[in-house]
């Protein structure tokens, strides 16, 4: 399944108005832990297709979004349900931990 890239122009459509729960991955190209987390996010996007939408936000390109959600360190994963943040994970987290959080919202 595709992982969507969101920016200030598309964030509302891709995330806030989504019918599915959305996992938003706040990252940057220079962030080592972000790169390490990427294969896990890709795998989850494939496994949870149709249940959860996966969106990446590059904090360097969209600092306004990162600021709005008080992103202080990356990677940060926010789970949105019905347009509101319902859960978060910070740092290089294990796949099982992400699945556990997502399963609460499916």
Per-residue confidence in pLDDT tens, the chain, 106 aa: 689 999 999 999 999 999 999 999 999 999 999 999 999 999 999 999 999 999 999 999 999 999 999 999 999 999 999 999 999 999 999 999 999 999 999 9
Q: Write the class of the CATH domain 4-103.
A: alpha beta
Q: Domain residue spans in the chain?
A: 4-103
Q: Which residues are catalytic?
A: 31, 34
Tell me how far apart the alpha carbons of residues 45 and 65 are, in angstroms, rounded to a whole number: 22
What percent of the residues of the chain are helix, what percent strand, and what percent coil, each to the nearest 5? 35, 25, 40
Q: What is the pLDDT of residue 80?
A: 98
Question: Which two structure tokens, joined as six digits, stand for 61?
Answer: 């390109």
**What's the burial of 27, exposed, middle or buried (CB within 10 Å: 0-12/13-18/19+)?**
buried
Q: What is the pLDDT of residue 2?
A: 86
Q: What is the pLDDT of residue 1?
A: 66
On the CB side of 100, CA atoms within 13 Å amount to: 7
Q: Enter the pTM of the model.
A: 0.97
């Amino acid at each position: 399944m595709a992982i969507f890239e969101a920016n200030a122009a598309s964030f509302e459509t891709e995330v806030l108005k989504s019918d599915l729960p959305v996992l938003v991955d706040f990252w940057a190209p220079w962030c080592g832990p972000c790169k390490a987390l990427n294969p896990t996010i890709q795998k989850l996007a494939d496994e949870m297709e149709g249940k959860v939408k996966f969106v990446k936000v590059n904090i360097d390109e969209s600092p306004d979004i990162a600021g709005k959600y008080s992103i202080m360190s990356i990677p940060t994963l926010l789970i949105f349900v019905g347009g509101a943040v319902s859960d978060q994970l910070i740092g290089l987290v294990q796949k099982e931990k992400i699945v556990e959080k997502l399963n609460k919202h499916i």
